[in-house]
Structure 1
């Protein structure tokens, strides 16, 4: 089930955490709530870089320490750039849907991507999803989700070319929903390989919702 509304305003705030100076591993998980809060993003990154810069400035007599600090500073910047690039793709994806821009929307997906909708039967290939959505996009009809509380993780593999994410989405018709999925870095940059849209069901009404689902007719899978 794909909602159709208009216009999107992004709310994406980046919180960086998980850096341990001198540790064996650096874990970065980004919570994005508002892209307009760039000053706070810069402040957070600088808080992580300043101690390393201090070490570099005072470690002339200790080349090994200086080299370690340089490596860690470069890693902090690299991971910040990676997660920022992933967030930008997701923001563009939502914006394109709101603007009914089919070329931009489907251009952000890998050729083998899957869009998993809220109905159990919705497992769209790019080709099938394009055939479904383009007639609406051509009429200027899109759907709007406002993303927030986004978490991005770059998988700890050598190529650093796979990212996972989850985010909450506000929608005028369906309220609070959730998006999650995977991106792959290609020669053309980060592309969405899977996007899963789901309803966020409060535990207190879960049984009632399940009973309604059981009673509903099952739609044909895509």
Structure 2
């Protein structure tokens, strides 16, 4: 008895696993249906909107535009490069104030970015490689679709270190105090 792949059965039943991509990342064997075309268009628009929001977020920081903080959800968390840098949105705004007051916060230029949307189309993971004031950094985060568009819910920034530099770096950081413990 010939086994029919699950994707074909779901497709025949009119069930889509993702508005962004096929679950297996492959291309369909058959032409896209009208519904699939609409979903693909919606997915493409969402991806463009996410990229545009993230690019503008970085531009806002470079110009010390307070619209930067509007791109964070109310419950957003920002994790910086220092072991003690884990901020809620409110804490991050307070910490950032001196940078924004001087008229230039920080400058991040995106080398590359990857998006991975969830199946519902309401949130996505991303990672990006950045040229920054700190040197080469990498970041990852989660964006969510809100009534006001895409917003950052979680962002984690880290400084990139080549593997061959890990041992000397470990010696430099061995004396650092432990990060603050959370209650």
Q: TM-score range by the shorter chain?
A: 0.7 to 0.9
2:83 to 120, 123, 128: 120
**Within-5 A mapping of 1:21-40:** 26-27=21-22
**Residue matched to 2:161:** 201
Superposed, 1:109-188 pairs within 5 Å as: 109-156=72-119, 158=120, 160-171=121-132, 173-188=133-148
- Residues 122, 221 of structure 1: 8 Å contact kept: no
Corresponding residue number in structure 2 for 1:89: 53
Match of 1:215 in 2: 175
5 Å-filtered alignment, 1:92-111, equals 92-102=56-66, 104-111=67-74
Residues 83, 153 of structure 1: 8 Å contact kept: no
Structure 2, gaps ≥5 residues long: 1-9, 12-16
Contact 1:146 1:170 survives alignment (8 Å): yes
RMSD: 2.8
Structure 2 SS opposite 1:106: helix
What stretches of structure 1 of length at least 5 have no aligned partner? Answer: 1-22, 29-47, 56-67
Cα 1:144/1:27, change in 2 over 3 Å: farther
Query: Contact (CA 8 Å) 1:123, 1:221: kept in 2 or not?
Result: no
Kept in 2: contact 1:120–1:221 (CA 8 A): no
Please identify which structure carries the higher strand content: 2
Quick check: 1:192 aligned with 2:152?
Answer: yes
Residues 198 and 85 (structure 1), Cα distance of their counterparts in 2 relative to 1, 3 Å cut? same
Answer 1 or 2: higher relative contact order, Cα 8 Å, separation at least 6.
Answer: 1
C-alpha contact (below 8 Å) 1:121/1:221 kept by paired residues:
no
CA distance in 2: counterparts of 1:221 and 1:128, whole angstroms: 16
Higher percent of residues as helix = 1
